[in-house]
Amino acid sequence: MAQAFIFDMDGVIIDSEPLHFEIDIHTMRHFGAEITKERLERYVGMTNPDMWTLIKDEHALAPPVAEIIEYQLSAKIRTLREQSYTPIEGIAELLGELKAQGIPCGLASSSPRAFIMEVLNKFEIADCFSVVVSGEEVARGKPAPDVFLEAARMLGADPGQCVVIEDSRNGVAAAKAAGMRCYGYVNVNSGNQDLSAADRIVHSIRDIRIEEL
């Protein structure tokens, strides 16, 4: 049995990648540039500072990265508050099963903490997670393993005894680099993601079986 279960958030707990794609495209237009959803798919799972540093260089954007992120994050939080969202199907049941089995849960997301907490509070599931770590709070974001290793440390768990669920190539790479077992969740709204490095690929959260952990 696993010592701990660590969730990614975007594309796993909330089907938020369409929101991210929409706002990121809008943000680019606001700053005088264009980008496609397909181009943005390569950055899924990365932190905002890492993503926007690369995009700023590639498109020669004038504003500093911090200004771009401030505009983008404000728009995302506003949209999240205004629109109706529910957890991805099967998440509530999985969290309940893990609690019943006494397996602590952590959340390790590349999103900024402000956005993470908006989502968890909107869904009223913040108390389901013993620890929450943002990729912006560690030295290196995904695909580096830092955010998962920090979550394991805070949970008091051996990384080799942790299970992760991820929906992105960068996230799966981070989990495997941390020495953790990883479910790759195929979320069609997360774009064309190569999850082949995951230990098991599932097309529904309901396909995850606690007894397999």
Look at residue 34 and tell me whether its pLDDT is greater than 70.
Answer: yes
CATH of domain 17-82: 1.10.150
Among this protein's residues, is 167 annotated catalytic?
Answer: no
Look at residue 211 and tell me whether its pLDDT is greater than 80.
Answer: no
Look at residue 210 and tell me whether its pLDDT is greater than 80.
Answer: no
Q: What is the pLDDT of residue 97?
A: 95
Q: What is the pLDDT of residue 148?
A: 98
> What percent of the chain is predicted at pLDDT more than 70?
100
Among this protein's residues, is 146 annotated catalytic?
Answer: no
Q: Are 182 and 165 in contact (CB under 8 A)?
A: yes
* Model confidence, pTM: 0.91
Cα-to-chain-centroid distance, residue 70: 19
Question: Cα–Cα distance between 92 and 98 in angstroms, integer?
Answer: 10
Q: Are 77 and 114 in contact (CB under 8 A)?
A: yes
Average pLDDT of the chain is: 96
Give 4-15+87-212's CATH code, choosing from 3.40.50.2300, 3.40.50.1000, 1.10.10.60, 1.10.8.60: 3.40.50.1000
Domain spans of the chain, in order of start: 4-15+87-212, 17-82
Amino acid at 72: Q
What is the DSSP track for 144-190? SSHHHHHHHHHHT--GGGEEEEE-SHHHHHHHHHTT-EEEEE--GGG
Question: Cα–Cα distance between 11 and 30 in angstroms, integer?
Answer: 25
- Mean pLDDT for 61-83 is 96
